[in-house]
């Protein structure tokens, strides 16, 4: 019974009862709740207050930061402690996550530019069943900055065929969303922010070594109702190119719409065995990091962002914000893995002057230098008056 109790079956992560695969067929009014998702021989879960300890399948859920995010689907041990005390905005005073796993699958990240259709093919087929994490990301034009993120739910927003690596969205995904601050002057026919379908998943390569450990921790503490500090550490053992990710962050928040955030992160090697981008629904892919071997990659990144709700500082409605982000070419996470020194900066403001007049302005700088020392930069601005 206890032989290889730490091992798992890598073929599926979270069990789904498909009526085409399992008998009997379930009625229209039936409800299925499975609290024992486990690829191994044992499943244990202990809940108390807002906290949880688990041995079984889990998502690491080390999110909430931009530069040091680490969210994989694994089998092993995980502890998430959340204090019962909260800030005035509802944040837990203390939030700590620890995990450890003998990972028996590899991590992959795909990005798809919206095509106006619903069908998208992943880079890999026969992915680990139930391991996908799917979300929509709206990015600012001429930038990598995400201005909006929408998490997708399987069954409600999309269907996935794991064996074929195929995703079908419930609604078509447009390349350009509704423009929040349209400009009277258009530089390109498709003027506006860009929409991407983002997918993280696990798969098992043919030459994968499953006897390697992955572990990490993420903690965040609110010193009072306004100031918080956090830290992240993640490690993956590999044959020759162990991956390490370290990060610290600090937040000052006056209200939900007025805050200052700063982050610093450092990585060694690459997080994925390939991050891929497709602009035709998965028929063709471009590898982000095909120009450097993993053992030669390490780098750091830092960012600062400030935003204010105008009502917190004046009697006018609206918001103002500014940001500055700098990444080394060797810095690697699933979201950023392109092998380029990058600077992304900008400022924007939207102010409601009166009931009939809105003013908006925006300026951005995006400077990317690749390994061949070629630099590209883009500065743009928008101004809008609406009646």
Q: So what's the pLDDT on residue 289?
A: 62
pLDDT tens sequence across 298-311: 899 999 999 999 88
In angstroms, the CA 140 to CA 147 distance is: 6
Q: Enter the tokens of residue 374.
A: 């070629």
For the CA atoms of 69, 72, 76, 78, the dihedral, rounded to the nearest 10 degrees, stands at 30
Q: Which of 276, 264, 218 is nearest to 94 (CA)?
A: 218
Asked if 304 and 250 touch (Cβ cutoff 8 Å), the reply is no
pLDDT of residue 295: 54
Confidence of residue 383 (pLDDT cuts 50, 70, 90): very low
Integer Cα distance of 86 and 91 in angstroms: 5
* Closest to 146 measured CA to CA, from 252, 65, 230: 65
- For residues 95-117, average pLDDT: 90
The arithmetic mean of pLDDT across residues 80-106, rounded, is: 91
Tokens for 264?
Answer: 């610093």
Query: For the segment 200-236, what is each residue's pLDDT rounded down to a tens digit?
Result: 998 888 776 667 789 999 999 999 999 999 999 999 9
Arithmetic mean of pLDDT, 119-130: 89
Q: Which of 17-31, 151-165, 290-304 has the lowest mean pLDDT?
A: 17-31
Q: What is the pLDDT of residue 374?
A: 39
Is the Cβ–Cβ distance between 125 and 165 less than 8 Å?
yes
User: Where is average pLDDT lowest: 55-59, 80-84, 169-173, 353-357?
Assistant: 353-357
Tell which wins on pLDDT, 181 or 307: 307
Q: What is the mean pLDDT of the chain?
A: 81
Number of C-alpha atoms within 13 angstroms, CB side, residue 70?
29
| pLDDT of the residue at 293 | 53
What integer is the mean pLDDT of 8-29? 58
Burial of 197 (0-12, 13-18, 19+ CB in 10 A): buried
Task: Identify the weakest region by mean pLDDT among 113-122, 181-190, 338-347.
Answer: 181-190
Contact of 134 with 154, CB cutoff 8 Å: yes
């Amino acid at each position: 019974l206890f032989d290889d109790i730490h091992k798992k079956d890598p073929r599926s992560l979270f069990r789904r009862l498909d009526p085409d695969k399992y008998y009997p067929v379930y009625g229209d009014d039936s409800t299925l709740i499975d609290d024992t998702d486990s690829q191994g021989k044992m499943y244990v879960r202990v809940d108390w207050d807002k906290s949880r300890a688990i041995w079984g399948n889990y998502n690491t859920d080390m999110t909430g930061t931009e530069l040091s995010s680490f969210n994989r689907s694994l089998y092993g041990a995980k502890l998430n402690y959340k204090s019962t005390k909260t800030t005035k905005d509802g944040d837990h005073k203390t939030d700590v996550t620890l995990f450890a796993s003998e990972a028996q699958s590899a991590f992959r990240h795909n990005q798809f530019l919206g095509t106006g259709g619903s069908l998208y093919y992943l880079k890999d087929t026969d992915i680990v069943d139930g391991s996908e994490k799917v979300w929509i990301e709206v990015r600012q034009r001429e930038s990598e900055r995400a201005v909006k993120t929408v998490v997708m739910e399987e069954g409600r927003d999309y269907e996935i065929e794991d064996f074929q690596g195929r995703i079908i969205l419930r609604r078509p995904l447009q390349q350009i969303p509704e423009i929040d601050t349209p400009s009277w002057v258009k530089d390109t026919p498709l003027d506006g922010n860009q929409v991407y379908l983002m997918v993280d998943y696990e798969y098992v390569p043919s030459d994968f070594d499953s006897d390697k450990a992955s572990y990490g921790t993420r903690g965040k503490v609110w010193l009072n109702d306004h100031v918080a500090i956090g830290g992240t550490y993640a490690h993956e053992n590999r044959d020759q190119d162990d991956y390490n990710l370290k990060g610290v962050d600090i937040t000052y928040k006056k209200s939900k719409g007025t805050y200052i955030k700063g982050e610093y992160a450092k990585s060694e090697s690459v997080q994925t065995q390939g991050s891929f981008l497709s602009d035709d629904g998965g028929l063709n892919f471009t590898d982000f990091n095909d120009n450097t071997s993993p053992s030669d990659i390490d780098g750091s990144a830092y960012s600062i962002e400030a935003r204010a709700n105008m009502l917190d500082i004046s009697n006018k409605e609206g918001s103002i914000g500014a940001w500055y982000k700098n990444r080394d070419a060797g810095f690697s996470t699933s979201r950023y893995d392109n092998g380029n020194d990058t600077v992304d900066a900008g400022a924007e403001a939207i102010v409601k002057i009166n009931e009939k007049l809105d003013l908006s302005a925006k300026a951005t700088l995006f400077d990317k230098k690749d390994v061949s020392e070629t630099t590209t930069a883009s500065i743009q601005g928008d101004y809008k008056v609406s009646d």
